[in-house]
Amino acid sequence: MTSSPASGRPKAAVVLATAAALLAGGCSSSSPSSSGPSRPKGAAVAMPEVSAVPRLVTAADRSLPIAPYLLSDKQSDELTAAQAKLTERCMTRFGFRYTSPVPVPVFRPRTPTQFRYGVTDPEAAAVDGFAPAGSRTAPAAAEPASLSAETTLVLTGTNDPHVKPGSTAAGGQVYKGRKVPVGGCVGEARARLLSEGPEAGGDAELSNDINIDSFESSRKHPLVRAVFAKWSRCMEARGFSYPDPLAATGDSAWHTNTASAKEKAAARADADCKRRNNVVGVWYAVDAALQRQAIEKNGAALDKIKKAIAARVKIAAAVLAG
């Protein structure tokens, strides 16, 4: 029997600067020792000085400072597989033949920064428009199998619609002489992988916030605003009127299943104007500077998150090794 256990929220990382932003997917593990950002959400960010700006056509092969504090796709996949295996083992103890559902494949950039600053390859943009090949259509998820009340109880710890499945508020019942773990078998698996925190599978909130906030704040930096103005003039010369790359990629006219000729032309112009004005180099430099600034302010909390990731990955490897 196959069904989808209560899973964590998707990993929220900015990987594509479009209105239909392709957020990095996969169930990754959350740090129980993570803390929130050191400033209130929406508070003003001090703009750092940027002394060196690289010349970049693409940032695909450049990592950002926050990367060590976020799960990689590989780590996320290993944790997901380990959680599935631990869940199945637990269900077997209770006498159920349960198979965890196969994760639905989602579009993933080659690296987290491949499309963080939008399209950068004029030739690819001329073919695919603003959305990379394979990113426009969401894969169809299989219909979850119907589970008996007993299976659901042991799997998630509850049949109560008012209790979150797999949460610490679920579980504790006795089924055929065995006590259902906190959160059911899903909760037991998460606890074993140290991922029973509020995200229950996502990145630590602090790391995630820094990753997103730096991207949002970078757009307000004087260097980025200045290079956006150059980009805008370049686009105007090509017949497209947008104040910045996000306005171009977020144009509602592109909300289609396939790229139109006009979208392809606009995307190609976008990528070419980025190259001519070193938009990616400037944007990346500011983005990275903002992250370094946030990391310096939150060093102790981030160090705990990094250690928690290492511990979870080690446990997952042992589980998968049998």
Confidence of residue 144 (pLDDT cuts 50, 70, 90): confident
Q: Give the SS3 label for residue 279.
A: helix
Cα pseudo-dihedral 298, 299, 305, 308, rounded to 10:
-160
The per-residue pLDDT of the chain, averaged, comes to: 86
Please name which of 120, 127, 121 lies closest in space to residue 264, comparing C-alpha atoms. Answer: 127
Contact yes or no for 82/316 (Cβ under 8 A): yes
Torsion sign over Cα 34, 35, 38, 40 = positive
d(CA 110, CA 129): 18
Q: What are the tens digits of pLDDT across the range 298-314?
A: 999 999 999 999 999 99
Single out the residue of 131, 105, 134 nearest to residue 16, CA to CA: 131
Nearest to 194 by CA among 35, 73, 307, 320: 307
In tens, the pLDDT along 146-159 reads 899 999 999 999 99
Please give the pLDDT value at position 314: 96
**pLDDT score recorded for residue 196:** 66
**Could you give phi then psi for residue 174, rounded to 5 degrees?**
-110, 125
How does pLDDT run across 100-113, given as a tens digit for each residue? 998 888 899 999 99
Rounded average pLDDT over 35-57: 72
- The residue extents of the domains of the chain are 67-135+146-320
- The per-residue pLDDT for 113 is 97
Give the pLDDT confidence of 158-184 residue by residue, as tens digits: 999 899 998 889 999 999 999 999 999
Mean pLDDT of 238-255: 97
- Geometric angle at alpha carbon 148, from 174 and 86, rounded to 5°: 65
Q: Which two tokens stand for residue 317?
A: 């490897």
Residue 61's nearest CA partner among 11, 127, 110 is: 110
pLDDT by residue (tens digit) across 86-100?
Answer: 999 999 999 999 999
Query: What is the structure's pLDDT at 11?
Result: 41
Q: Which residues touch 36 (CB under 8 Å, ≥6 apart)?
A: 205, 206, 209
Region class of 52: left (phi > 0), else alpha (psi between -120 and 50), else beta: beta
Q: 72-98: buried (b, 16+ CB within 10 Å) or exposed (e) per residue? A: bbebbbbbbbbbbbbbbebbeebebeb
Of the candidates 249, 229, 254, 260, the residue with the CA atom closest to the CA atom of residue 119:
249
pLDDT-based confidence at 139, cuts 50/70/90?
confident
- By C-alpha distance, which of 3, 193, 192 is closest to 97? 3
Question: If you average pLDDT over residues 204-218, what whole number do you get?
Answer: 96
Residues of 45-65 as b/e, b for ≥16 C-beta within 10 angstroms? bebbebeebeebebbbebebb
Predicted confidence (pLDDT) at residue 37 exceeds the cutoff of 60: no
Q: What is the band of 197 on the pLDDT scale with cuts at 50, 70, 90?
A: low
